[in-house]
């Protein structure tokens, strides 16, 4: 397999949430070709077991590998927390970046009082992967996590600023806010859609970390270090693959990517 600067960047997620990462990569690196796979036939991952999540991650990576990517970005926090090693195995030497490590690093850089809050899926918070990643950089930081399972369906149904969504988010965040955190990581790729509402509830003194932007920055840096940045100046549309409901995905794309909606291809897992 020959990897070159013109090879694509492969990105995958359990479903549609990872498009927040596609958007961030596109904004930062508009000349890069992106292959995106969303496993819409088996979404969500965050409420499932580690064994199942690892099996799904293996399949997802296999699909991207057919396109000979120069890098794989795991846009799913749950997979980043529980199955990054499987992605690396199947990726056979292709650099792999997970949203989790990127978000953790950025959170450490921003926190002043060393109290960081994490919101994510059940599987991500139970894994303690954010605590491990943050404390590996700075063991003195206190990390507080809360699972917010209902925020994914709210985001997927477009209840972006509904009073019921706000009420539930307030309950989820109450304990973290009581811990005097100064930094809050959106530890699920769906949450950036609810960023404004979450920011409102958290208040102006808490810095919100969006892992999508963090991982895009890290991708640019890694590609530059390896001499693999695409220097073509023609912006290209991402190539989108899903395992179910391409039409619905296309409609939802508007919410994530804005107006530029490419075709969506159906693949089997």
Enumerate binding residues for its own copies (CB under 8 A): 40-42, 47-49, 51-52, 149-150, 152-154, 156-157, 159, 162-165, 167-168, 243-245
Work out the angle between the directed axes of helices 99-110 and 129-137 (0-180°, nearest 10): 50
CB of 189 to its own copies, least distance (A): 17
**C-beta of 138 vs 157, nearer to its own copies:** 157
CB of 6 to its own copies, least distance (A): 34
**C-beta of 33 vs 42, nearer to its own copies:** 42
**C-beta of 116 vs 148, nearer to its own copies:** 148
Cβ atoms of 190 and 151 within 8 Å: the answer is: yes
CB of 159 to its own copies, least distance (A): 7
Cβ atoms of 116 and 144 within 8 Å: the answer is: yes
Of 73, 76, 165, 206, which one is the catalytic site residue?
Answer: 76
> Is 188 labeled as catalytic in the residue annotation?
yes
d(CA 108, CA 134): 7
> Is 148 labeled as catalytic in the residue annotation?
no
CB of 55 to its own copies, least distance (A): 9
Cis peptide before 44 (omega within 30 of 0): yes
Of 188, 194, 197, 209, which one is the catalytic site residue?
Answer: 188
**C-beta of 28 vs 174, nearer to its own copies:** 174
d(CA 150, CA 122): 10
Number of residues in the chain: 269
Cite the active site residues.
76, 188
């Amino acid at each position: 397999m020959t990897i070159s600067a013109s090879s694509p960047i492969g990105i995958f997620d359990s479903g549609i949430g990872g498009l927040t990462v596609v958007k961030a990569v596109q904004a930062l690196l508009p000349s890069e070709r992106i292959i995106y796979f969303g496993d819409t036939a088996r979404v969500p991952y965050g409420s499932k077991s580690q064994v199942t999540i690892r099996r799904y991650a293996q399949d997802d990576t296999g699909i991207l590998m057919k396109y000979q990517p120069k890098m794989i970005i795991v846009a799913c926090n749950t997979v980043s927390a529980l199955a990054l090693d499987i992605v690396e195995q199947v990726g056979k030497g292709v650099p792999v970046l997970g949203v989790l490590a990127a978000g953790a690093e950025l959170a450490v850089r921003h926190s002043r009082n060393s109290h960081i809050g994490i919101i994510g899926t059940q599987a991500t918070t139970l894994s303690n992967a954010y605590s491990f990643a943050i404390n590996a950089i700075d063991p003195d930081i206190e990390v507080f996590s809360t699972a917010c399972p209902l925020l994914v369906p709210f985001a997927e149904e477009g209840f972006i600023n509904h009073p019921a969504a706000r009420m539930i988010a307030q309950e989820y965040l109450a304990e973290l806010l009581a811990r005097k955190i100064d930094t809050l990581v959106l530890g699920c790729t769906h949450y950036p859609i609810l960023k404004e509402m979450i920011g409102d509830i958290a208040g102006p003194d808490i810095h919100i970390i969006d892992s999508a932007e963090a991982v895009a920055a890290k991708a640019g840096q890694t590609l530059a270090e390896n001499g693999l940045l695409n220097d073509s100046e023609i912006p290209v549309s991402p190539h989108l693959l899903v395992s179910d409901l391409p039409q619905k995905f296309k409609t939802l794309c508007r919410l994530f990517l804005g107006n530029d909606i490419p075709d969506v291809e159906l693949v089997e897992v």
